Structure 1
Amino acid sequence: MDMEKLGVWTFYAGLVIAVVAAVMSPGGLAPLAVLVLGLLGIAVGLLNVTGKEVNTFLIAALALMLSTTSLRLILETIPAVGAFVPAFLTAVNVFVAPGAAVVALKAIWDITRSK
Structure 2
Amino acid sequence: MDEIKAVESASVELETWQPDGVTILSGDPAGRGFTLFENFENGARGTGVFECDPSKTTYKLEYNEIIYVLEGEVTIELENGSKVDLEPGMQAFLPAGHTSTWTFHTKFREVWILAD
TM interval, short-chain normalised:
under 0.3
Query: Comparing both chains, which one has the higher relative contact order based on Cα–Cα distances under 8 Å and sequence gaps of 6 or more?
Result: 1
Larger radius of gyration: 1
- Give TM-score scaled by structure 1 length: 0.28
Q: Greater helix percent: which structure?
A: 1
Q: Greater strand percent: which structure?
A: 2
